[in-house]
Amino acid sequence: MLISIRKTTLSIFLFVLFLFEVFSYRSVETNFNDANTACWKKVAFTKRQLACWTVKGTAKSERTHTGFWSKKGFGLTINQKQERLAQLSQHLSNDPSSNADIRDDIALRLERSPAWVPKWAVMLSPVQQVLIVLVVYALHLGVLCRTAIPFPVELVPNNDGLFQSLGLDSVAGIISLCVLLLAKGRNGHRPMKPRHGPWRVAKKNKIKVVVTTFVLAGAYVSSGYGNVIWENLLFILACVGAPITIPMHRSLQVLLSHLTWVFLGIGILGNVFKPFFKKTTRWMKVKWNCLWVWWVLGGYFISSLLFNICDVANQFVLPPSVFEAETVVLKMINPENNDALAMAVGALAPCVSAPWWEEVLYRGFILPGLSLFFPQANAISLSALLFAAHHMNLAGMIPLTALGFLWAILYVQSQNLLVTMIIHALWNSRVFLGSYLGV
């Protein structure tokens, strides 16, 4: 059987290289004493004003910022920047619905994007971005998950059939990493420079964060008792003649108990940290009218590559008996009598409510909360461990920790929690759709 790139040592090397790019940075000093050096001045946006750049000195107006990648043609020249901003001005002048925030974001993307990136790729509307995600996601389910490139020889001799082929889904992850490395040459700077998270939580909230965390833990335990209540209520409904099959009973029980936990958590966070769920919140940033599609697609495919690597590691670390246990999720994915309706109901919690709530909880609350006590890098690692432990699945501990770590980095770098929400939803949905489609 063809095994995907999860089986290759090349994947491990690329992932280590990705982590190196994230956490190894160098400072760049600019010499402003050269009279011929172009000096840039950014004029702030107003509601009727686009960003504009002025250049002092024209002797080197065609030169990009210094840096290896700029010399290779990956940066934008001054004239190219001005041309792109002029195109943006014309585009937005014909679109009365565009507001200052959208203009800010698009102009910033145009200015920062490498010269080889087409203009349309950074001027997409949210609806267009959704369509692109759905098309690529369908391609992933229909083609990439089903196809692999066999190796002529087994890369690493083993008795488990590993390291024999390269899956196209993981090839997409490798390509995403390569694009990330290529794009680092924009203007001679690295795109994955250290960034503070989008949260701005005051340190005076330390005690409140600790107390709220314990209250949330208590609410999570209490939702387990709610699970028993829902189970008995559903049994009563079945006894009085309601058409509830065994798989439907299981799916409804999981959905209702999960919603109980979600509403308890929303009530706690919404009342303790007002206004936690409004645009003015200082805890998280969820932005719709911006360019998030490439973060989503790149993060999704890198997540797939990372998961494949961790899945191989699981085979060597954990005993086979761990993978033989049948969980509730597996029963919902493969219901008795192939009950499609029960599977659809069972998918609502993992694919809709859970991605939103878990991202709010772990990346929107726990990560900023931990950042009050630890450096951001340590907070990311701890939040990833808590994210994995919350699922209470030993077989998934390594992959979920890695995914939680990656998604926290994506959130910090993109400054948009919507990115990880969508990736999380696509990831969970793949499990159900993959089973239904036989992937």
Condensed to tens digits (0 to 9), the pLDDT of residues 54-69 reads: 333 333 333 333 333 3
| H or E stretch covering 54 | strand 53-56
Residue 333, in any domain of the structure: yes
**Per-residue confidence (pLDDT) for residue 69, from 0 to 100:** 37
Q: Which domain range does residue 420 map to?
A: 194-205+275-437
Last residue within a domain, chosen from 70, 92, 122 = 122
Residue 270, in any domain of the structure: no
Residue with tokens 């196209």: 168
Which of the residue ranges 10-14, 138-142, 210-214, 354-358 would you say has the lowest mean pLDDT?
10-14
287/415 same-domain check:
yes
CA pair distance 350, 427, nearest whole angstrom: 10
pLDDT confidence band for 110 (50 / 70 / 90): low
Last residue within a domain, chosen from 81, 96, 122 = 122
User: Percentage of the chain surpassing pLDDT 90?
Assistant: 35
The answer to whether the bond into 150 is cis (omega within 30° of 0) is: no
Residue 422, in any domain of the structure: yes
Strand partners, 39: 56
CA pair distance 260, 224, nearest whole angstrom: 9
Residue 354, in any domain of the structure: yes
431/346 same-domain check:
yes
Residue 142 has a CB neighbour count (10 Å cut-off) of: 12
Q: DSSP readout, 357-378? A: HHIIIIIIIIHHHHHTTS-HHH
Residue 182, in any domain of the structure: no
287/413 same-domain check:
yes
Do 424 and 359 touch, CB atoms closer than 8 A?
A: yes
103/200 same-domain check:
no
Residue 157, in any domain of the structure: no
Per-residue pLDDT, averaged over 18-25, amounts to 40
419/309 same-domain check:
yes
Q: What residue type is 94 in one-letter code?
A: N
Last residue within a domain, chosen from 99, 122, 145 = 122
User: Is the pLDDT assigned to residue 241 strictly greater than 90?
Assistant: no
314/416 same-domain check:
yes
| Dihedrals phi, psi of 54, to nearest 5 degrees | -115, 145
Domains in the chain, number? 2
330/433 same-domain check:
yes
Do 372 and 206 touch, CB atoms closer than 8 A?
A: yes
User: Is the pLDDT assigned to residue 147 strictly greater than 50?
Assistant: yes
**Per-residue confidence (pLDDT) for residue 89, from 0 to 100:** 58
Residue 84, in any domain of the structure: yes
pLDDT confidence band for 141 (50 / 70 / 90): confident
319/407 same-domain check:
yes
User: Is the pLDDT assigned to residue 27 strictly greater than 50?
Assistant: no
User: Percentage of the chain surpassing pLDDT 70?
Assistant: 68
CA pair distance 219, 216, nearest whole angstrom: 5
201/98 same-domain check:
no
Burial class (CB in 10 A: 0-12, 13-18, 19+), 59: exposed
Contacts of 113 (CB under 8 A, 6+ apart): 76, 121, 122, 186
**Per-residue confidence (pLDDT) for residue 181, from 0 to 100:** 75
Per-residue pLDDT, averaged over 124-147, amounts to 90
127: three-class secondary structure by DSSP: helix
**Per-residue confidence (pLDDT) for residue 95, from 0 to 100:** 53
User: Is the pLDDT assigned to residue 328 strictly greater than 80?
Assistant: no
90/201 same-domain check:
no
User: Is the pLDDT assigned to residue 205 strictly greater than 80?
Assistant: yes
User: Is the pLDDT assigned to residue 17 strictly greater than 60?
Assistant: no
Residue 396, in any domain of the structure: yes
103/198 same-domain check:
no
